[in-house]
């Protein structure tokens, strides 16, 4: 979705835990799918109703991954939350797409919120998708803001791979999703960095008011990116430090790897922030330099015409001037004035003012 401001006024006066969707007003229908897997098998489970979902979950002998695409059907989300005894505040945060990235430990399950970010090279905008993850004993629930295929690569790996993803627990599935989202941040910053290079090239060649608008827009995008990525570091650090048995101790090293990636991303983001600040200074300096160049040219012209105006002023006085009685007087004055212009231009060039 394209980033935009969303209103909270519709929740004013409601009790904590009230399930109200906050996000883009799209009418797409929510969907739910189940995926069960063991170290040796993978099986997508058919789901038509919520009752089917609950039955399939109870009958499954392996790890179950419940995928929910679309959050506007709050009734379905609320019913699924009751099935897994999720806290009302968890359900409230699931349908709030403006919730900042975070991790909460409820004892019998973990609740994580993260933003998947993309760079739209055509619109020069950051696109984001709200993803909520609930990790429990042998199950994981993923809530996506819209009908999208962002998690399909994980699903394809489950189908074709009988390696680590199937053999390890649901905590490794959580790691795989978080790792894929964080890897997407590198592509985002790469695209954003290319856009900054375009602005910088324009800034150094032909700066204009449009360039200033681009810099201002890029600063807003950078602020949004920073607000979305920085809290993820805290989230991953909390998972790495937890002693909850839902996160196997052997999995901590994988989450530490995500943490290292986030440090690298944050460093890159801070570099881009400094670049944008410098661009503002360069823009102001370029305007000042252009003004100085204009003033220098005008001053040179004024300096050339000052002696010419003086001479013309003298010969424009209302009294008899001997030179005008000479046949060569008028051309001589013009030649003298031309010589003054040439001498001044030669002087300016020698001083490197031209």
What is the residue range of 49's domain? Answer: 9-285
3-state DSSP of 35-99: EEEECCEEEEECCCCHHHHHHHHHHCCCEEEEEEECCCCHHHHHHHHHHCCCCHHHHHHHCECCC
**pLDDT at residue 307, rounded to an integer:** 84
**pLDDT at residue 1, rounded to an integer:** 45
Q: What is the tally of structural domains in the chain?
A: 2
User: Do 254 and 327 sit in the same domain of this protein?
Assistant: no
Rg (CA), the chain: 34
Q: Which own/partner contact pairs does 83-89 have at CB distance under 8 Å and 24+ positions apart?
A: 83/50, 83/53, 83/54, 83/57, 84/109, 84/134, 84/136, 84/139, 84/141, 86/111, 86/134, 87/17, 87/111, 88/16, 88/17, 88/19, 89/16, 89/17
Torsion angle (degrees, nearest 10) of CA 298, 299, 304, 310: 110
Q: What is the pLDDT along the chain (354 residues), one digit of tens a residue?
A: 445 445 555 555 555 556 666 666 555 677 788 888 888 888 877 676 667 677 767 667 788 888 888 887 788 888 888 888 888 888 888 888 888 888 888 888 889 999 999 888 888 888 888 899 999 888 899 998 877 778 888 888 888 766 778 888 888 899 999 999 999 999 999 999 999 998 888 888 777 888 888 888 889 999 999 988 888 888 888 888 888 888 888 888 888 999 999 999 999 999 988 888 888 888 887 777 777 777 878 888 888 888 888 777 777 766 566 666 667 777 777 788 888 888 888 877 777 766
Q: Is 0.85 surpassed by the pTM of this model?
A: no
Q: Final residue of a domain: which of 237, 263, 285?
A: 285
User: Do 86 and 122 sit in the same domain of this protein?
Assistant: yes
DSSP 22: B
In 3D space, the residue among 66, 84, 86, 70 whose CA is nearest the CA of residue 29 turns out to be 70
- Chain centroid to Cα 126, Å, comes to 4
User: Do 122 and 163 sit in the same domain of this protein?
Assistant: yes
DSSP 131: E
Query: Looking at the domain assignment, is residue 278 inside a domain?
Result: yes
User: Do 299 and 280 sit in the same domain of this protein?
Assistant: no
Query: Looking at the domain assignment, is residue 290 inside a domain?
Result: no
Helices (H) and strands (E) in the chain, counts: 9, 7
Query: Looking at the domain assignment, is residue 1 inside a domain?
Result: no
User: Do 186 and 324 sit in the same domain of this protein?
Assistant: no
**CATH number (domain holding residue 196):** 3.30.460.20
User: Do 201 and 153 sit in the same domain of this protein?
Assistant: yes
- Angstrom distance (rounded) from CA 276 to CA 214: 10
**pLDDT at residue 178, rounded to an integer:** 92
- Angstrom distance (rounded) from CA 39 to CA 158: 10
């Amino acid at each position: 979705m394209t980033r935009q401001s969303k209103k909270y006024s519709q929740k004013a006066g409601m009790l904590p835990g009230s399930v109200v969707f906050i996000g883009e007003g799209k009418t797409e229908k929510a969907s739910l799918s189940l995926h069960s897997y063991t170290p040796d098998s993978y099986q997508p489970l058919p789901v038509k109703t919520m009752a089917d979902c609950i039955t399939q979950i109870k009958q499954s002998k392996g790890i179950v991954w419940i995928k929910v695409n679309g959050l506007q059907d709050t009734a379905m989300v609320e019913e699924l939350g009751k099935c897994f005894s999720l806290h009302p505040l968890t359900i409230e945060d699931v349908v709030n797409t403006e919730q900042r990235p975070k991790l909460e430990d409820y004892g019998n399950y973990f609740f994580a919120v993260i933003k998947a970010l993309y760079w739209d090279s055509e619109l020069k905008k950051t696109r984001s998708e709200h993803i909520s993850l609930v990790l429990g004993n042998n199950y994981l629930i993923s809530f996506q803001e819209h009908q999208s295929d962002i998690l399909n690569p994980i699903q394809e790996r489950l189908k074709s791979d009988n390696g680590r993803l199937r053999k390890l627990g649901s905590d490794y599935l959580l790691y795989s999703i978080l790792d894929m989202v964080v890897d997407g941040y590198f592509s985002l910053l790469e695209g954003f960095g290319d856009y900054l290079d375009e602005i910088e090239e324009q800034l150094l060649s032909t700066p204009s008011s449009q360039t200033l608008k681009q810099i201002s827009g890029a600063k807003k995008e950078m602020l949004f990116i920073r607000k979305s990525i920085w809290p993820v570091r805290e989230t991953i650090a909390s998972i790495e430090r937890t002693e909850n048995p839902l996160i196997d101790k052997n999995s901590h090293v994988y989450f530490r790897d995500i943490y290292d990636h986030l440090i690298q991303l944050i460093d890159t983001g801070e570099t881009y922030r400094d670049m944008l600040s410098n661009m503002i200074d360069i823009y102001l300096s370029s305007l000042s330099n252009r003004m100085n160049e204009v003033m220098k040219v005008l001053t040179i012209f004024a300096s050339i015409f000052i002696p010419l105006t003086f001479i013309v002023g003298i010969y424009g006085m209302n009294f008899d001037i001997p030179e005008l009685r000479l046949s060569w007087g008028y051309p001589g004055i013009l030649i003298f004035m031309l010589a003054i212009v040439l001498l001044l231009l030669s002087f300016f060039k020698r001083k490197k003012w031209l």
